[in-house]
């Protein structure tokens, strides 16, 4: 019997104008489960988490994240321990020794660390050297990737933010019309979704994924097959009265075979919608735990739920998660560091390295939980994580010199430097080979080479802004 196949773009339309998009089903794959039924490959996804911290505080040169050993025998430092706890340490690569220069070079920025460095890192275009200092100067990687792999989904790109504060620095940049006196086309930061409740409504309004319910199309085909067999049986029975004994015996044997097949079909359980695509029930915005103190853990958990479902239901294939946009002043507030103060003013600039390490560990844990959700979502012969590139990028590194050419803001504050930065690369999309530490120290390679590597893994042509080249070691 020819296997039932569905197009990946199939939409089930019902009464009152409703429509139902379908998640990845076995009947959408080829006979080996390695590609879509039409021969197209199972889709890949891109996820990036932007962490609004540096590796070190203002008075420190040591930190607990960067491994001390390179290669496959790398050591899992305390800040990276959540990767092990969440069961994804073997699915991640650590890239250290990256450098975004505070000088006028490709991908550099004009000293203002908080104002310009995020733009330079995420776009790969030098930032702060024109009259429009407040504008990013190019597309961010997520936008470039969405143009290639996000065009067939309901949402080409989704952008969420853990912290509920607004008005700071955003890390996804799109092209827009310029004002008078500007170029015709300029760039602007995209506003992230701050509400888990709104993110949930966006995903499930006019989209109701059945939870382990029979696939209506497959059920219909099964019924049609059964009816066809019954109709054939009736015709054969009528014919029996008109034929001779020998022919009647032949028809009786055929009827028995038909009846056996019909009974087998009747006992077959129709294919089901993957339980990974489910409606968890209304996701709400958690109340603050105190005045001006959001429940950041509850917010993170709700956004993690939305991220898992967005990929499992194929609502999007490109998703950006920001930690916080307010990177100056007190900064992001969290019950974990409420006794210290805000993430920026107190934790990073006026507290101990141990407190900053603890905060960074929480951000790594959020990232690790997202990857763990991808890993548990079965798809074809593997999981969603097998076809995902999941990046973790930080606002700052750990400047190890007072040289103004390597520290932002023209000073020697290691907290305001993108020297010796670290990125994490999760997943196996496009031949990525995880579970190692790639140490690039001394090569002055921009973060853009890691973004370029993500684009390469996803089959996205081109490069990030002014930065060329990839990190071949990520594929070896």
Q: What are phi and psi of 199, to 5 degrees?
A: -60, -40
275 occurs within a structural domain: no
Regarding whether 245 and 104 lie in a shared domain, the answer is no
Q: How many domains is the chain partitioned into structurally?
A: 3
Closest CA to 215 of 413, 63, 4, 18: 4
Regarding whether 149 and 13 lie in a shared domain, the answer is no
Task: Indicate the pTM of the whole model.
Answer: 0.82
- Residue 263 is predicted with a pLDDT of 56
116 occurs within a structural domain: yes
Regarding whether 235 and 202 lie in a shared domain, the answer is no
Regarding whether 182 and 304 lie in a shared domain, the answer is yes
Cα angle value 257/260/266 (rounded, 5°): 140
CATH code, domain with 445: 3.40.720
Regarding whether 247 and 107 lie in a shared domain, the answer is no
Regarding whether 260 and 155 lie in a shared domain, the answer is no
356 occurs within a structural domain: yes
Regarding whether 115 and 32 lie in a shared domain, the answer is no
Beta strands 158-161; 318-322: pairing state: parallel
- In 99-132, the DSSP E strands lie at none
Regarding whether 329 and 290 lie in a shared domain, the answer is yes
Question: Pick from 266, 297, 330: which residue ends a domain?
Answer: 266
The whole-number mean pLDDT for each consecutive block of 10 residues of the chain, a chain of 476 residues, reads: 56 42 56 60 93 94 96 97 98 98 94 93 94 87 97 95 93 92 90 96 78 46 47 60 71 59 45 60 93 97 96 94 94 97 96 97 98 93 94 94 77 87 98 98 97 98 98 98
Regarding whether 126 and 13 lie in a shared domain, the answer is no
276 occurs within a structural domain: no
* Phi-psi label, residue 434: left if phi above 0, alpha if psi -120 to 50, beta otherwise: beta
Domain range holding 14?
1-41
- Residue 132 is predicted with a pLDDT of 75
Regarding whether 220 and 254 lie in a shared domain, the answer is yes
354 occurs within a structural domain: yes
């Amino acid at each position: 019997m020819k296997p039932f196949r569905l197009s990946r773009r199939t939409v089930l339309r019902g009464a009152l104008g409703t429509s139902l998009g379908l998640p990845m089903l076995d009947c959408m794959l080829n006979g080996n489960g390695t590609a879509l039924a039409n021969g197209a490959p199972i889709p890949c996804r891109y996820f990036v988490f932007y962490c609004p911290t540096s590796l070190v505080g203002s008075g420190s040169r040591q930190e607990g994240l960067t491994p001390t050993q390179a290669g496959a025998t790398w050591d899992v430092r305390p800040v990276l321990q959540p990767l092990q706890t969440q069961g994804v340490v073997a699915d991640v690569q650590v890239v250290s020794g990256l450098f975004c220069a505070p000088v006028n070079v490709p991908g550099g920025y004009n000293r203002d660390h908080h104002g310009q460095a995020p733009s330079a890192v995420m776009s790969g275009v030098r930032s702060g050297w024109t009259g429009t200092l407040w504008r990013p100067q190019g597309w961010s990687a997520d936008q470039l990737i969405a143009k290639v792999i996000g065009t067939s989904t309901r949402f080409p790109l989704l952008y969420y933010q853990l912290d509920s504060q607004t008005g700071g620095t955003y890390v996804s940049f799109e092209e827009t019309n310029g004002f008078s006196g500007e170029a015709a086309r300029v760039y602007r930061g995209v506003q992230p979704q701050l509400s888990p409740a709104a993110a949930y409504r966006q995903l499930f309004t006019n989209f109701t994924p059945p939870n382990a319910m029979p696939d209506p199309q497959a059920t219909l085909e099964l019924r049609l097959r059964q009816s066809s067999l019954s109709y054939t049986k009736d015709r054969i029975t009528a014919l029996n009265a008109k034929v001779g004994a020998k022919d009647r015996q032949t028809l009786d044997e055929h009827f028995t075979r038909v009846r056996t097949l019909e009974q087998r079909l009747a006992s077959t359980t129709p294919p089901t919608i993957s339980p990974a695509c489910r409606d968890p029930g209304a996701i709400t915005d958690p109340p603050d735990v105190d005045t001006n103190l959001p429940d950041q853990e509850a917010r993170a958990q709700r956004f993690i739920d939305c991220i898992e479902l967005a990929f499992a239901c194929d609502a999007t294939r490109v998703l950006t998660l920001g930690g916080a946009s307010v990177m100056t002043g007190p900064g992001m507030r969290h019950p974990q560091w409420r006794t210290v103060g805000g993430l920026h003013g107190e934790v990073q600039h006026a507290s101990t390295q141990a407190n900053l390490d603890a905060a960074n560990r929480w951000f790594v844990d959020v990232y690790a939980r997202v990857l763990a959700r991808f890993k548990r979502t079965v798809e074809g012969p593997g999981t969603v994580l097998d076809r995902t590139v999941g990046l973790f990028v930080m606002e700052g590194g750990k400047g190890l010199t007072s040289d103004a050419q390597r520290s932002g803001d023209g000073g020697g504050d290691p907290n305001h430097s993108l020297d010796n930065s670290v990125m994490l690369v999760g997943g196996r999309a496009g031949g990525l080979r995880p579970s190692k530490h790639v140490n690039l120290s001394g090569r002055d390679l921009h973060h853009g080479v890691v973004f370029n590597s993500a684009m390469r893994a996803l089959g996205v042509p081109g490069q990030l802004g002014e930065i060329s080249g990839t990190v071949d070691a990520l594929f070896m």
